[in-house]
Structure 1
Amino acid sequence: MTGQKPLVSGLYAITEARLMPEPVFLAQAEAALRGGARILQYRDKGDVVAEAPRRRRQAGALRELCAQYNALFVVNDDPLLAQAIGAPALHVGAEDAPLPALRVQLGRAILIGVSCYGSVRQAQEAAAQGADYVAFGSFFASPSKPQAPVVSVDVLMAARAVIDLPIVAIGGITEANGGVLIAAGADALAAISGIFGADDVEGAARRFTALFGDRKE
């Protein structure tokens, strides 16, 4: 990826193998993109070694699909996979490899986002180290991470006041509660079950996208 890094804004759809069996995996991902997802993250918790061929095949296909829809493709928690397929973006947890080390490994061109959970301090540290966006949550009870502590919406407002980076909200977000998070300062809403758990994935994505109104991407 060259030139200016893409804007992190709008619907941020995250894949989930449990909700997206391989026969329909790509079709459901494309439905989310047709519905307006501006960011698509490949999140797969399968064995990194034993399932490496499948993971690389799926991630590579998603990268190409996102390019067709002018959407940002993100690999979750796997710098080696991101590097192998030339992914334009990587998302990591605050406990993962330090950002300076990732920059040495992957270079400056790749966009890197960092999960900061409920900590504005962690987000400030990530920003100082060169993160391209920060993510907070879980804001609501999450089917994908049922043990995740619930974070107050006030965290978004506090972060917005001191961090000049795109902010992603995640965790139990639906088309019914997402508007509150946008109003509090979220630039993007990340969703797993709210999109891929829906009977109509494209329709769900369109309803999420409508929450952003006429915001320019």
Structure 2
Amino acid sequence: MWSSGLYVISAENLHPHRSLLSVMEPALKGGATAIQLRDKGSDKRVLIEKGRALQQLARRYRVPFLMNDHLDVALAIDADGVHVGQDDFPLMEARKLLGEDKVIGISTHTKDEAIEAEQHGADYIGVGPVFATDSKDDTEKEIGVAGLKEIVGHVSIPTVAIGGVKLNNAEKVAATGVSGLAVISEVVMSEHIEDTCRHFTKILTETRERDV
């Protein structure tokens, strides 16, 4: 079910005058291969409403929709999966609750965390932050392209680079051999979201073809 490529994560605080769906649908039209609802402030009722709307949208485009944390919401709306942090719900317990057919991703910052995530059954890992980021204020120290490349080389499951990934650095990030790019601010704050996503997917495709 997991399809590596362009992974777009919501951040409604970065687009206060545009609705969640009006941002995420053009991202899907532009080639996003997965979307995630990341919302640390809303209550469960609102999360269920938002999550259900995004799940329906994602199904129309035949891509997976994941909840960030909030396993209870993911279960309630039958989300395609969840993404958890190192300090969130334990990965192996999440698997017991969600079952084998759901996607589970986890944030990793070091080689050891990445290897452990693979051993514990993660479907993919988020690796980063690669660069400094504007969209989160509680991030670890950035690992850089070299740190990303090292982690990518030590696991066999899909790897998704996250943290400060923008059009002007996407090519060198993709050149590490990472499976996909997770993008927040560069997409959700764009005036031309669909075009921005098309540019990201073009960079990914061209880099992969060149490095084959």
| Matched residue SS, 1:68 | helix
Q: Distance in 2 between matches of 1:32 and 1:21?
A: 17
Match of residue 43 from structure 1: 38
CA contact (8 A) 1:156 1:185 kept: no
Letter matched to residue 17 of structure 1? E
| TM-score normalized with structure 2 length | 0.92
Residue 132 (structure 2) aligns with: 141
Q: Which residue of 2 aligns with 1:132?
A: 123
Unaligned runs of 5+ in 2: none
Secondary structure, counterpart of 1:189 in structure 2 = strand
Distance 2:137 2:77 in 1: 31
Q: Is the 8 A contact 1:10 1:187 kept in 2?
A: yes
The match for 2:8 is: 13
Aligned length: 207
CA contact (8 A) 1:82 1:90 kept: yes
Tell me the alpha carbon deviations over residues 26-79 of structure 1, each in whole angstroms, 9 at most, x when there is no partner: 1111011011111101001114xxx22221111101001111111111110111
1:201 aligns with 2:193: yes
Moved >3 Å (runs of 4+) = 20-23
The answer to whether residue 172 in structure 2 is matched with residue 180 in structure 1 is yes
User: 2:130–2:148: 8 Å Cα contact kept in structure 1?
Assistant: no
2:22 to 21, 27, 33: 27
The aligned counterpart of 1:151 is 143
Structure 1 residues without counterparts, runs of 5 or longer: none
CA-based RMSD of the aligned residues comes to 1.7
| Post-superposition offset of 1:159 | 2.0
- Cα deviation 1:104-150 (Å, max 9, x = unaligned): 21111111001002x01011011101001011111112111245311
Contact 1:168 1:187 in 2 (8 A): yes
**What SS does the aligned partner of 1:134 have?**
strand
Alignment partners' CA distance in 1, 2:31 and 2:113: 30
1:154-182 alpha-carbon deviations (Å, 9 max, x no partner) = 22222222210000000111111011111
TM-score scaled by structure 1? Answer: 0.90
Higher helix share: 2
Q: Which residue, out of 48, 52, 69, partners 1:77?
A: 69
- Closer, same or farther in 2 for the Cα pair 1:202/1:152, shift >3 Å? same
Per-residue deviation at 1:23? 5.7
Task: Give the CA deviation at 1:152.
Answer: 2.2
